[in-house]
Amino acid sequence: MRRRRFTVLLGLLVVLGLAAAPGSAAGFGTIDSGGQSREHERLTRAALSCAGDARSDPDCFEPTTMDYLAGHGHEFGAVGSPDRDELSDPAAHCDGADYVAGPYPRTRMQATASLVDCLNHMRLRFGEGVDKAQGLLGRDGEVLAAEVGLDPECRSDDEREERAKCATLEAFGRALHGVQDFYAHSNWADQADPARPIGDENPPGLDLPAPSPLLDLRGAAAPDPPAELSTGCYVARDEVPGVGACQLRVTHAGLNKDRGQIDPVTGAATDPTTPRGMVGTNFAKAVTGAVTETRREWRDFRSELVARYGTERGERMACALTHDDPVDDCAGANPVVAAVVLAGLVAVAVGAILWLRRPVRRSERGRAGSAGAAGHGR
Which residues of this chain interact with Zn ion, rule CB under 5 A? 93, 181
| Residue whose CB is less far from Zn ion, 129 or 232 | 232
Nearest approach in angstroms of CB 95 to Zn ion is 8
3-class secondary structure, 21: coil
Q: List C-alpha distances in Å: 341 to 6, 58, 328.
A: 20, 22, 19
Nearest approach in angstroms of CB 315 to Zn ion is 31
| Residue whose CB is less far from Zn ion, 150 or 291 | 291
Eight-class DSSP state of 75: B
Question: Is the separation of the CB atoms in 97 and 231 below 8 Å?
Answer: yes
| Residue whose CB is less far from Zn ion, 229 or 305 | 229
Q: Which residue's C-beta sits nearest to Zn ion?
A: 93
Q: Which H or E run contains 261?
A: strand 261-262
| Residue whose CB is less far from Zn ion, 179 or 305 | 179
Q: Count Cβ atoms within 10 A of the Cβ of residue 281 and give its class: 0-12 exposed, 13-18 middle, 19 or more buried.
A: middle
Eight-class DSSP state of 378: -
Nearest approach in angstroms of CB 83 to Zn ion is 6
Nearest approach in angstroms of CB 257 to Zn ion is 12
| Residue whose CB is less far from Zn ion, 181 or 324 | 181
Nearest approach in angstroms of CB 229 to Zn ion is 18
| Residue whose CB is less far from Zn ion, 179 or 192 | 179
3-class secondary structure, 299: helix
Nearest approach in angstroms of CB 303 to Zn ion is 25
- Please report the DSSP string for 139-191 in residue order: TTS-B-HHHH--SSPP-TTSTT---HHHHHHHHHHHHHHHHHHHHHHSSSS--
